[in-house]
Structure 1
Amino acid sequence: MQLHAAIDEFVLYIEIEKNYSVNTVTSYEKSFTKYCLIERYLANDFTHGIESPKTDDKLPVYMTLTDLKQLFDYLERAQSRFSMRNELMFKLLATTGIRRSELVSLTWGQVDLVNETIRIDGKGKKERILPLHPHLIPLLASYKASLRSYQIYPSEPVFLNKNRKALDPRGLHVIFKDVLKKAGLPPTRFTLHHLRHTFATLMLQQNKENVDLRTVQNL
């Protein structure tokens, strides 16, 4: 394993597996770098000058399984014009690790219902193929069937706002806060980023024997 990959895996282990704060992760990274300098694996200390970021201790790193179940229970019971869309969006965020920006820019050409995957063009044009949870397949198929034929062309966005235009990150944020409130969860406590962390944390907690950190990081 190359050094940078080893460092990435080490930091991911501390942050997710041990559920430590960002400040603690930064401290471990600096200590690990010093060790690499002593052992002459590195010529320079690339962490020099890096300050520990400020964090809000009031915010949790991720939603618990109980929180997630409460959210999903509401989404599955909701009866509104956008209930199916909302259920699909937030279940995708919680079960695939997709970013908010990637979700709102998702097109039907990136969705493969046959192979049960979605293709993501992430940061730096790096492509990822994400597996879809089996429970999401019928929901995704039903949602697609509810749209008009011109709305499901490969270049068309998967998620639309009330004006039938592509949903934007700000709109997604507003919808998430409203859904949290209606689900009986505190809207000031959770963010969309926490939902993404929930995916990684629960994946490791539930599958410690079968899922390694590199797999989670790649997803």
Structure 2
Amino acid sequence: MDTGSRKENASKQESRAPFRFHRNGKGASKFDRSIGYRSALPVALRELLLMFRDFEWPKAEQEADEELLRHIRERGCHILTGGGDKENPPYAFSVGLALNYAQAEIIVFGLEPLYAARAIDTVCSRATFGKKFIDGDIASDVIRGRKVCFVEVPVVFYDKYLGAALWFYQNWPEPFPCLQLVWSDGEGRFPWEAGFDAALRKDQPILRAVS
């Protein structure tokens, strides 16, 4: 299964960021709200302007591409999902954060699609007001009742998990940044910490070793 495919299925739930649900390439719907992100941009405008000036948008090859591009232009972020089969746990990732807000793209594993979308949506909302998460940051206000840690994703995993993002950033001169949003167990322990709930390990592969 090509878990990075740009063909997606979807959900009827709502989220600020447009959301497409990928599950074996069948079916279609989306999360979509009329509220966009580009209406409020109190961030590093000079950096953003440079990124917009230098970025070459890819040309749509299919209807799904046109929708993805439109969402990123109008709302700043598009969310896709994959996995959820015997080989991979479910995951969701963003496309557009790096371009629009100089915030690394986000990937999160092991959450139901709606909750994954909400977590990424929260990161996007923070980015609109200038809050940028970086490798090693820990936050307690992204997923209710859990701590999260942001971990840099090695480029070697991009092809496996981030196919749509690779397509979107194909003309970017350098690899786009991406962070894994790692969530804690109910006791606030992360997968690399002693005592982490062993039953949750299979749901959340850690793409980069953390000590």
Q: Same fold (TM over 0.5)?
A: no
Structure having the higher helix fraction is 1
TM-score by length of 2: 0.26
TM-score by length of 1: 0.25
Higher relative contact order (CA 8 A, sep 6+): 1
